[in-house]
Amino acid sequence: MEKVKELIIEHLATKKQTGKNFGKVLCLVGAPGVGKTSIARSIAQALGRPYEKVSLGGLHDEAEIRGHRSTYIGARPGVIVQALQRAKVKNPVINLDEIDKMGESKYNGNPAAAFLEILDPEQNENYRDHYIELPVDLSQVMFICTANQIENIPNTLRDRMQVIEIPSYTQTDKKSIAKNFLIPNLLTKNNLTEQQLTFEDEAIQIIITNYTWEAGIRNLETKLQSIVSKFIAKFIKNELKSENITTEKVREYLGKPDASDLTFEADYSVAGVVNGLSAYSREMGGGSILPIEVRVIDSGKEEIIITGNLKETAKESVQTAISYVKANSQAFNINPEDIDFTKKTLHIHVPKGGIPKDGSSAGTALTTAIISALTGKKINREVGMTGEITLYGQVSGIGGLREKLTAAHQRGLKTIFIPKKNEKDLDDIPSEIKDELTIISATNYWEI
């Protein structure tokens, strides 16, 4: 978060130096629960300004932004003027929450177009709301946008923003937040004291590792609240007066771990199994280990079977990996009879078929799994890899490296192969993760 803080301070310092809202609007982008709204609220508090939040998710009527004309029944000002009315000042901090989830209506205009004027410092000094029909000076308002998917924001609107990526939390981050903020807040909210309910460090860790799988902390807070509620139920019944939550108590209160639903423990005792790494969308957050299984079957016919709910781009990556292996079979010491697919079925499977999988970042893992299956050489279960591969073996860059390495570290992997082009992203990886992983970068598959 240090880099995020630096960028925000630089942005605010520029505004202070110029004395006005000069330049672009802050847009905080990240997965749900990583603290975007909290950061916006903290900025308002640091500046000594009132904070107002305007929720834009699902809004599809431009009149909700610009206001309804007073001749209509039920007419009212737009959401921006309403926020100014609540703040009672002309220079509040207004958080435009979930700006990426605004809709567009064929009949009610385009809300995003309305924000082109609102967020433009050259125009918003004389913003006109349809309801009050008078100019409104928005030049002193500090707008902060928050979003999950920057790609969903129209380019014309995105050009007016300084986008700051809010990274996902590491396990250490989550543990610290739980101990110092979540648990004390939950105790206060539920009228409990630290003497009545305590949590051991190991208990907090097992909740994070086995009962949540997210970039933020919302599910973690939900699990902690569930434990607190169960304790209160026993407390009200006079079954106990105080309790120390241990790992055993966590299992008693929360039941079977459910984070395992997003993971799969492959059989690494056979050839053809390799750990790929995946990053979920920002909506879901986080990353995961993605075991890839390849099996060669003497079926007497040529056939390639791809299973595991792979989408088009992922299937193309499979075809690219197969072509690369065929073209370099001698170099990989593959028996010519084994590479003759005219009499063999090559089955490539990615477990957890209920979860759609897309993207090309599994190219190196797919290639390794195919070579392993054809040569009979097993791959160490503590090895993982990510990277797109070309027909000539070039390893291309990928996205979501932080999430992938976090998942690899969490699941006990030791050696990770990444594209050379992603070395620059290692600066954003916490040292607690990098120090416990052997990270090898490659520009060509021969380096793997």
Q: Which residues are catalytic?
A: 361, 404
Sign of CA dihedral 78, 80, 83, 88: negative
Let me know the angle formed at the C-alpha of 218 by 286 and 249, rounded to the nearest 5 degrees.
100
In the numeric block, which tokens belong to residue 50? 């009132």
C-alpha pair distances (Å), 366 with each of 8, 165, 325, 376, 388: 40, 30, 10, 15, 10
C-alpha pair distances (Å), 30 with each of 2, 175, 283: 15, 20, 8
Q: What is the residue whose two structure tokens read 């202070």?
A: 16
Rounded-to-integer distance, Cα 381 and Cα 447, Å: 19
Rounded-to-integer distance, Cα 300 and Cα 273, Å: 23
Let me know the angle formed at the C-alpha of 283 by 279 and 285, rounded to the nearest 5 degrees.
40
Q: For the chain, report the end-to-end CA distance as a whole number of angstroms.
A: 32
Rounded-to-integer distance, Cα 345 and Cα 304, Å: 6
Q: What is the residue whose two structure tokens read 């078929």?
A: 353
- Name the strand (E) or helix (H) holding 84: helix 79-87
Sign of CA dihedral 155, 156, 157, 161: positive
C-alpha pair distances (Å), 323 with each of 274, 287, 310, 318, 371: 19, 28, 18, 9, 12
Considering only CA atoms, give the Rg of the chain.
27
The residue type at 391? L
Rounded-to-integer distance, Cα 254 and Cα 267, Å: 28
Answer whether 361's CB lies under 8 Å from 319's CB.
no
User: Counting every residue, how long is the chain?
Assistant: 448
The residue type at 345? T
Bridge partners (DSSP) of residue 290 are 276
Rounded-to-integer distance, Cα 161 and Cα 165, Å: 12
